[in-house]
Chains A and B, each alone.
Chain A
Amino acid sequence: MKKVIKIIIFLIIFYFLLVNIFKILWLDKNSIGYFHDEPKNSLDVVYIGSSNAYAHFNTVLAYDKYGFTTGMVSADAQNVAVTKYMLIEAQKYQKPKVFVIDIGRICDDDLYIFSEGDIRKTTDSMTFSKNRKEAIDTLLKYRDTEKDKYINYYISLFMYHNTWKNITEKKFVGDENLYKGYVFSWDTSRTEPQEKLEWVDNYIDMPEEDEKILLDLIDYIKSNNLNVLFVIPRKAFDEEYMGRFNTAISIINENGLKVLNFNNMDDFDVDFNTDLYNAGHLNVYGATKYTLYFSKYLKENYDLPDHSNDPLYSSWDDEYKRFKESFGNKTGNNFDELLLEYNEMY
């Protein structure tokens, strides 16, 4: 018995060392990493999606305005095919009032063209579990060249142990939960000005695999009785895509679930000349408009609590302050003044 206890203690210490040493060696944290930093059951909204999620919804602004907390389970180029697994991942730690799922890429033709980095950005930050393995398997199914390297995805250690050569002070002292998962970009010069088209009413078939993924996701949501709101982010779509999204919206609605299409609203819009970072993403100005509108919608429709005066949530105030300072440094403008201007609109 004494020997068994010894072995258990040895393994516990080993696990503790492993987790902490490899935190230092790991990649820089992304929004999913910050999501995992939040205390258990402390989030009121969980927002799942690709870069459209973390670049469009300013979590700290929403908190400052209405007092509810939002966690971002989103990574750069996060594939729609893993949304189900992200829902499972989120439920392990949080019991939000609503899951917001960004489906801005659900009708993409190139949904299955992605790099090793795209897989890693999503799955490396997930906790080691069967669910994570299934998410990796799902993505590798679409990427033949990576299949034989599956073990390197399952055990990220195989990939990152070599980063010991580049460990900086930041890796040792850690980083605070930067803006609670929101990532902002401030310039407007990344692409040519986008053409703004009116939303059309025609229906075009979704790509077959995309539809399969959507139906599978809906099936999971319904069978687990989850409160989910789908969103189609505001960006430059052409008519073909609008037709596909109309099909996706009808499938979702037919299943009794709700979609907000930010490209086809009477009371919301962004300025394509000033509010876009590039064709697919809003900059901080567009994101502020979007957040003001959408956070109000969430507050009104989902009975979200207000933690504004709760000292347990003070880190949200701190991050909002940090965001405002950073906004000032990057743009030379005052965020509060910007809000005064935008508040009149939304």
Chain B
Amino acid sequence: MSLTSLTFLEFCILALIIYFIVPKKIRWIVLLASSVTFLFWNNLSVYTVIQAIIVLLSAYIFGILIDKYHDTRKSKVFCVLGILIIIAQLIYLKYTNLFLVTANHIFNLFNININFGMVTRNSLLGISYYSLIMISYLIDVYRGTCKPQKNILKCALFMSYFPILTSGPFVRYENMEKDLYEGHKLKYDSLCKGLVRILWGVFKILVISQRCGYFVDTVYGDLGTYNGCFTIVAVILYTIQLYTNFSGSIDIIMGISEIIGINLPENFKAPFFSKTITEFWRNWHITLGSWLRDYIFYPLQKSNFIQKLNKKCKNIFGKKFGKKIPLYLSMFIMWTLIGIWHGGAYTFIIASGILQFIYIVLEDLLGPASEKINKKIGINTEAFSYKLYQALRTFLLFSFAMIFFRATSIGNGIQIIKSIFVYNPWVLTDNTTLFTAGLDLYDFRVLIISIIVLFIVDGLSRSGSVREKLFKQNIVFRWTIIYMLIFAILIFGCYGVGYDPAAFIYRQF
């Protein structure tokens, strides 16, 4: 069920009406019923039910056991056991092909004549999200950050809360516990603000992301015809498509939750205003980053192996450089995992893992030297122009990495990069050629204006919630903006006949 489909709209309206009609005490049951319906909407089978039950029972039973044997060795064993079961299923359902491809490459390297065929696994919607969410639940119970949920149905609701199943954000049990099970009252303020946020999300998806998609699909689908400047525009537009698609989905999810009365953590904070890749990842898919930091990176840094390596490296390479090696190793592991999480293919590992790791290490290594050079030649790093240059640099580096995110294989990614170097600047100036790749002049106009609006809103959001600012304005201005948003979606949105509500790019994760 696509987040911008009428089915989803009807589903949400019905779920919300029932939620606010029934007595407060049992409102969480409505959420659970809606979530279970959503989870199995198009994929109800014994096989998928078992998948969900495995994760639920692992988290529920081991959560209770971890708490029961708190501060004992058994507690750690149960925690590891629970996590292993969830991870094993996740790997089996999502990453079998990655292992098979790797094995084929290795066999090929040693000229061994074995070639595994690819397999198809029917995995449940949002498995990557709820698996990680339940792993963090077990770790939090183990760490004593929260108490386990004794009611299995409430545990099931935490696992399957329907708005976050498609695109996140990652939530923590300690933050959700109160909001999720408490019966909320419908508040006028939350309703208005939630609806505006949903509209903004729909605008991003239907007006910007979908429109970018037409161009990107045309260019990447025929690199023989569309290359050079076509590819450059496609690379840029794909990054915008990805951002508006993902953050738009999050806006819809946050809006629905806000209406219900459930606070979810923000997942984006104007990432394209970031001056470095490090800063970019603090503003992009924030909850995934913080999940990996809290449950992978910090435990790794504190592990005996890294601590010992730290000492050894300091002895060999000196204090300053020596401490960087174990740090980079932990980061490498974390970024590789981010890449793997994004999809069971090497293209994802390169795009959102290895390349990001390389960028961040280079920033760390070259940063001090760059600062010195800037000082020597007298560059004002506080000037707007310099900050603009930094933001553009970050955007382009990220866009370059996303070539592999979109590519069907590493070879295809390299082909896209090669196609950038075809010389055809007239594509941008002859007033016709650019408009042969899926978007005509009118669509480009709409797209450019919409992207400018997007950047203005993102820019404003850096100094506080734009909606809060909007709702402080007078009614005429406020309503004018809201009507403009609604009609921009209705008129310029890519929906209707012949339009297939595209699967969200992040949905498969």
Contact with B along A270-309 (1 / 0, CB 8 A): 0000000000000000000000000000000000000000
Of B188, B486, B493, B496, the contact of A14 (CB 8 Å cutoff): B486
B298 within 8 A of A: no
* Interface: B152 (CB within 8 A): no
Q: Which of A3, A10, A159 contacts B496 (CB 8 A)?
A: A159
A151 within 8 A of B: yes
B443's nearest neighbour on chain A, judged by CB, is A165
In the bound complex, what is the Cα–Cα distance between A14 and B442 (angstroms)? 26
List chain A residues, Cβ under 8 A from B486.
14
B487 interfacial by beta-carbon distance below 8 Å = yes
Residues of A close to B442: CB separation below 8 A: 164-165
Of A21, A25, A151, the residue contacting B6 (CB under 8 A) is A151
- In the complex, chain A residues whose CB is within 8 Å of the CB of B496: 152, 157-159, 161-162
Chain B residue at smallest Cβ distance from A3: B188
Is A312 an interface residue, CB under 8 A from the partner? no
Q: Does A17 contact B (CB under 8 A)?
A: yes
Nearest opposing residue in chain B for A159, CB measure: B497
B residues near A162, Cβ cutoff 8 Å: 496
Given contacts A13-B483, A21-B487, A164-B492, are A158 and B188 in contact (CB under 8 A)?
no
Inter-chain contact B483/A161, CB cutoff 8 Å: no
Query: Does the CB pair B497–A158 fall under 8 Å?
Result: yes
Query: Does A164 lie within 8 Å of B483, measured CB to CB?
Result: no
A170 CB-CB contact with B under 8 Å: no
Contact A17 B487 (CB under 8 A): yes
Enumerate chain A residues within 8 angstroms of B6, measured Cβ to Cβ.
151
Closest to A9 in B: B479
Shortest CB–CB separation between residue B448 and chain A, in angstroms?
A: 15
Q: Interface residues of B, CB < 8 Å — how many? A: 15
The reply on B490 being an interface residue by CB < 8 A is yes
What residues on A are CB-neighbors of B483 within 8 Å? Answer: 13-14, 17
Q: Does B435 contact A (CB under 8 A)?
A: no
Contact A165 B497 (CB under 8 A): no
Q: What residues of A have a CB within 8 angstroms of the CB of B188 in the complex?
A: 3
Is B383 part of the binding interface, using a Cβ–Cβ cutoff of 8 Å?
Answer: no
CA distance A200 to B172 in the complex (A): 84
Q: Give 1 or 0 for each of A1-36: 1 = CB within 8 Å of chain B CB.
A: 001000000100110011001000100000000000
A152 surroundings in chain B (CB, below 8 A): 496-497
Please determine whether A21 and B497 come into contact, CB atoms closer than 8 angstroms.
no
| Distance A177 CA – B188 CA, assembled complex (angstroms) | 45
Contact B491 A25 (CB under 8 A): yes
Closest approach, in angstroms, between the C-beta of A136 and any C-beta of chain B?
14
As a 0/1 sequence over residues 475 to 508 of chain B, the CB contacts with chain A under 8 angstroms (1 = contact) are 0000100010011001111011100000000000
How many angstroms between the C-alpha atoms of A18 and B491 in the bound complex? 10
When distances are taken between beta carbons in the complex, the residues of chain A under 8 Å from B279 are none
A40 part of interface (Cβ distance < 8 Å): no
B485 CB to closest chain A CB, in angstroms? 12
Does A149 touch B at the CB level, under 8 Å?
yes
Q: Can you list 22 pairs linking A and B with CB atoms under 8 Å apart?
A: A3-B188, A10-B479, A13-B483, A14-B483, A14-B486, A17-B483, A17-B487, A18-B490, A21-B487, A21-B491, A25-B491, A149-B497, A151-B6, A152-B496, A152-B497, A158-B496, A161-B490, A161-B495, A161-B496, A162-B496, A164-B442, A164-B491
Q: Which 6 A-B residue pairings sit nearest by Cβ, starting from the closest? A: A158-B496, A165-B442, A3-B188, A152-B497, A159-B497, A164-B491
In the complex, besides A149-B497, A152-B496, 7 extra interface pairs with C-beta distance below 8 angstroms are A10-B479, A14-B483, A21-B487, A158-B496, A159-B497, A161-B496, A164-B492
